[in-house]
Amino acid sequence: MQEIQESIKNRQVLMVCYKGLPRIIEAHIVGANSAGQEYVRGFQVGGTSCTEEVGWKLLDMKKIQAVSVIHDQHFAKPRQGYVKNDPVITTIYSQV
């Protein structure tokens, strides 16, 4: 979790293993919903997915097996379509 929060603060790109598939994401917000389930909302820029391989994703923290920061890759600003104070994530730990 701390690694994701730091990546948001520093706008660093992440490699995550989600449901067994590698994904490259720009994490924009991490926190919990009203039921206490933790999520990351990010823009997937590469890797694989069960659905579309790029675009906005809501990742359940329980299904993330591994996280690593790609230290030499950053994003300059939030992606188009980013909603600050995401309505799904009611308790925000970190956001762009």
pLDDT the model gives residue 50 = 72
- DSSP-derived pairing of the beta strands 64-74 and 55-60: unpaired
CATH assignment of the domain containing 85: 2.30.30
pLDDT for 33-49, tens place per residue?
A: 999 999 999 999 998 87
Q: Is the Cβ–Cβ distance between 22 and 68 less than 8 Å?
A: no
Stated pTM of the model: 0.92
Beta-strand runs (E) in 1-96: 12-18, 21-32, 38-47, 55-60, 64-74, 91-95
Residue 12 structural domain: 2-95
> How many domains does one find in the chain?
1
pLDDT the model gives residue 23 = 95
If you average pLDDT over residues 66-90, what whole number do you get? 94
pLDDT for 14-40, tens place per residue?
A: 999 999 999 999 999 999 999 999 999
Radius of gyration, CA atoms only, the chain? 12
